Amino acid sequence: MPQVTFALPSLSYVCRPLLDSVLPSLPPTVSDLDVPPLLREHFILSGYRPLGLPWRCCVLSLLQIHNQTLTTWSLLLAALALLLRFTGTISCCHVYIIKSFLASCSAAANVLHCRSEEMHYFLFFLHSVSAAVYQYGCALALSLYSVDAIWTQSMLGQVYLPLTAILSWLSCALCCYTKLTLRSKFAIHRRICRLFPMGVAFLVIMGPFVRRLTIYRWSNGPALMLFLHQVVLFLLSTFFFCFPVPECFAPGHYDLAGNSHHVYHALRSLCTLVQQEALFHDFLWRRPALVRQMGEQHLLLTCISFFCPMVCCSMTALAMRSRARAELEKEQR
């Protein structure tokens, strides 16, 4: 007579379906020929995630080796470093929170853009908005913490923030426009077109630093040296942003590590960290006389002005997203 047992099923047998539903297996990466031209990068031949991944797979691809892994983690580590710096500097917290949030937005764009072509456009436009807001945020912090009363009362000081707001919006608009209209061109053409307003905005933003360098030389503490390091890092990152080096010399050999996109984001992350450290030193130097020289009402209006370029850039990105959706629907007919 057969014996009947009442043994409980093994834990792995019970948990395996739950784990499969929560942590689905990720599909392997594909070559550039298996993704739409919109998602391809020049001289990068492999390491692409297939289009149409579920949201969970897009998020879990943080733990997968593909051609966006190093870019994403460099941005996430920069955001984490800014948050850790914020925990020790509560009095200057708004600057670190904003910069950390913007770095996280850029990381999210790199992680989730393979969901669909429409989502790729939307996240790229979001990335352009975050970059433009970052530019104006840098100008705002410099105008508060890195200048003296003579600069604030001068004509250049009066037009400094409105000018940087316009240039930040122009940078966002041109980045979105070139992404939408230069889809069939090489990526280097888009990069050079997007570099122009970014370069002009950077020159305007660095105006206070150049003035301090010419007036105070190197006698104003470590902030000037940190700002100089920021300039060097920015120029190096700009080179790798415009030119696909070294992958242009050996296509396919730098797909997963070492291509210009990886180097650019790593240098820009370091540039951001150095800049925030310099701003913190300036904040300590400027804080005692800040409210007395500028007044609480002027400081409040200056901080509120931060939302003006944010709203303008967001509206521009939404308009471009609607246009991109219309063009994609037209192509599918």
Numbered residues of the known binding site: 261, 265
- Distances in Å between the alpha carbon of 37 and those of 33, 41, 75, 128? 8, 8, 25, 20
**85 backbone dihedrals φ, ψ, rounded to 5°:** -65, -35
d(CA 254, CA 251) in angstroms, rounded, equals: 7
For residues 317 and 128, give the distance between their C-alpha atoms in angstroms, rounded to a whole number. 8
CA 11 to chain CA mean position, Å: 43
Nearest to 61 by CA among 31, 32, 25: 25
Annotated binding site for Zn(2+): 261, 265
Specify whether the CB–CB gap between 204 and 139 falls below 8 A: yes
Length of the chain: 333
Contacts of 101 (CB under 8 A, 6+ apart): 79
